[in-house]
Amino acid sequence: MRLSCSLTPFILLFFLFLVAPAVSSGVAILRTDYYQKTCPDFNKIVRDAVIAKQGQQPTTAAGTLRLFFHDCFLEGCDASVLIATNSFNKAERDDDLNDSLPGDAFDIVNRIKTALELSCPGVVSCADILAQATRGLVTMVGGPYFDVKLGRKDGLESKAHKVRGNVPMPNQTVHDIHGMFKKNGFSLREMVALSGAHTIGFSHCKEFSDRLYGSKADPEINPRFATALKELCKNHTVDDTIAAFNDVMTPGKFDNMYFKNLKRGLGLLASDHLLIKNNSTKPFVDLYATDEKAFFEDFARAMEKMGTVGVKGDGEGEVRRRCDHFNNLNV
């Protein structure tokens, strides 16, 4: 049977409708110029706040990078880690594994949010603020530039009981930690590159004290390093705020010294040291220790990928008025 020419276009359209894949309204479509029209001062406001805060408190960069990681690895990059506990809910940030997340990291996000609400109220999500601020701070301390695509919505849930098993712990094996990375789409090489974030920041003594004292003390720590750490942490059971730099050589500079330190027995956490001991991760440690450019390139790509983990679209999230509260306060 021959189709009438006048009917053919309608039949073709109907056919295309049937075979075209359905697109969910909740899918986040990220792009770097997301706020170009709706909040044209977004980049400037974030940049100015980042410069001011990092100048006041030099540990902000490391803290914010860590906060971003902890956010993305549980429920995706949706700012759920920023939510404060209330009478209805114990939030992620109050789980034991997150109790050492630094206040300066939360503060920089809140500062930026306050400024943006004055400039373009109700437009920019807290998840995007955290992602953009992290990139700005990493580059400020010497790290590589990477693209940050925007358009995330803020999550509608933050549960403390979900943290354990989704955030790596310093006494876990390479296999177990890689399992968490793999679940979020990262290869072993990307895991090692992202571990290089420990080239800045610090860890509290309770996170590595079992390597220093008693019958289970780690004999593979550089002896002089171990002696210095024992002296530093001798009162850590009384004062749990005592901490040591993750990178004892260049603690405030984002470089490849972390990997060089691992080869010298200067890895602070047990999970750091295992990267040089494990046959599957050692080649990447060796590469990054000798080739900073390779480390920076891999880290930048992995961070771009990190920013897309589990992002929420319009149907799955909101733009919070305050970063530490859901818009529905009863949630």
Residues in the annotated binding site for substrate: 168
Residues in binding site for heme b:
198
Distance CA 289, CA 2 (A): 71
CB 30, CB 77: distance < 8 Å = no
Residues 82 and 323: beta-carbon distance below 8 Å: yes
Residue 63 dihedral angles phi and psi, to the nearest 5°: -65, -40
Strand, coil or helix: what is 275? helix
Name the catalytic one among 70, 178, 236, 273. 70
* 285 touches 51 (CB < 8 A): no
Q: Residue 4 burial (CB < 10 Å; 0-12/13-18/19+)?
A: exposed
Concatenate the DSSP letters of all residues of 194-224 into one string.
HHGGGGSSEEEGGGTGGGTSSTT--TTS-HH
Alpha helices in 26-83 (DSSP H): 42-56, 60-72
Question: From CA 199, how far away is CA 149, in angstroms rounded?
Answer: 25
Q: How far apart are CA 169 and CA 311, in angstroms?
A: 24
Residues contributing to the annotated binding site for Ca(2+): 71, 76, 78, 80, 92, 199, 247, 250, 255
For residue 178, indicate whether it is catalytic: no
Which positions are annotated as active-site residues? Answer: 70
